[in-house]
DNA sequence: CTGCATCCCCCTTGATACTG
DNA sequence: CAGTATCAAGGGGGATGCAG
């Protein structure tokens, strides 16, 4: 099955919505590599984010099947967040995005035709 | 130069901001392949977008060096939009994103550990 | 046809305080 | 430690009207 620009746009549009928001990608980057991070660890890793935003984005991504939430029933509470297989599979895409981002400075050739 | 998850997040974050918004990716998809589209053609290609959003996102991306604006000084006015080389180089990233998006349905294995 | 300006809504984000 | 509740602010985005 091939994808036309139209249908491709449709498909990606949905994916994009899952990644939208000011913090999701940042969170994902901290989770890549199969790392499991506690709520507080993520908080410390991303100082600029508020608890509300962190939990909100996390929940959203969990609902979308990108991240998993692992609850350890103990005192004090311990909850870890990681990526699902699908979430892990986002790595190539994000990496490509990173490559692109780094192409900004060098060899910037505005002429497109 | 290697990139830590932290610095990678920082770099991509800026790239992401350029792609953020409900319509930018959709617009980009219609422009991939070196296609030049007129304003009205883009409008028709993306019925759900308003003129304001279209021109706004276009301008933004032009400012960011992703798209080029080609004005034909004639009557009636004719303006075409296309991708810069840098914009074209986004293709792999978007394609990877597309691959990811299409992995949703098949082989969906939530178990991540 | 192309593009900009204005008004308006409301969702996202954010700051703070509180609970289990 | 983890998560929720509430209130306030800003910007994204929609509808409409106007101009070159």
Q: Domain of B52: which CATH number?
A: 1.10.10.10
Q: Is residue A70 part of a domain?
A: yes
Pick from A29, A45, A103: CB nearest B89: A103
Tokens of A9: 């746009």
Per-residue confidence (pLDDT) for residue B56, from 0 to 100: 94
Residue A57: phi and psi, rounded to 5, are -65, -40
Task: Answer yes or no: are the C-beta atoms of A70 and A79 closer than 8 Å.
Answer: yes
- CA A46 → C1' D7, Å? 24
pLDDT at residue B67 is higher than 90: yes
Q: Residue A61 has what pLDDT?
A: 96
User: Does the residue A113 lie in any domain?
Assistant: no
pLDDT value of residue B109? 47
| β-bridge mates for residue A69, sequence order | A81
Mean pLDDT of the A17-31 span: 90
User: What's the token pair of residue A36?
Assistant: 């499991």
Which tokens go with A49? 């984010």
Give the pLDDT confidence score for residue B7 in this predicted structure.
Answer: 60
The helix/strand/coil state of A37 is strand
Where in the sequence is the domain holding B100, given as residue range(s)?
Answer: 11-104
Within a domain: residue B57? yes
Mean pLDDT of A92-110: 73
The CA distance from B17 to B14, in Å, is 5
Q: Chain B closest CA to A75's CA: distance in Å? A: 24
Nearest nucleic acid nucleotide to A56, CA to C1' distance: D3
**Contact criterion met (CB < 8 Å) for B99 and A93:** yes
Would you say residue A4 lies in a domain? no
Chain B residues with CB-CB distance to A110 below 8 A: 65, 68, 84-86
Is residue B92 situated within a structural domain? Answer: yes
Residue A81, nucleotide of least CA–C1' distance: D2
Average pLDDT, chain B: 84
Q: Would you say residue A66 lies in a domain?
A: yes
| CB B72 under 7 Å to nucleic chain C | no
Residue with the bigger pLDDT between B45 and A14: it is: B45
User: Domain tally for chain B?
Assistant: 1
pLDDT of residue A7: 61
Answer whether residue A96 is part of any domain.
Answer: yes
How many residue contacts between A and B have a Cβ separation below 8 Å?
147
Dist CA B34 CA B30 (whole Å): 10
- pLDDT per position as a tens digit, B93-105: 988 988 898 887 5
pTM over 0.85: no
Residues facing residue A100 across a β-bridge: none
Question: Using the 8-state DSSP alphabet, how is residue A90 labeled?
Answer: T
Residues 6+ apart with CB under 8 A from A78: A38, A71, A72
When pLDDT is averaged across residues B85-90 and rounded to a whole number, the result is 92
Query: Is there a domain that residue A112 lies in?
Result: no
């Amino acid at each position: 099955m091939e994808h036309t620009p139209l249908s491709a746009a449709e498909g990606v549009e949905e994916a994009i919505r899952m990644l939208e928001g000011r913090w999701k990608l940042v969170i994902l980057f901290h989770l890549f590599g199969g790392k499991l991070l506690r709520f507080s660890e993520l908080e410390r890793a991303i100082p600029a984010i508020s608890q509300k935003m962190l939990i909100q984005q996390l929940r959203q991504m969990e609902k979308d099947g990108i991240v998993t939430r692992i609850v350890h029933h103990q005192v004090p509470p311990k909850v870890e967040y990681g990526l699902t297989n699908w979430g892990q599979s986002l790595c190539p895409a994000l990496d490509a995005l990173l490559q692109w981002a780094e192409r900004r400075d060098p060899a910037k050739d505005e002429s497109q035709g």
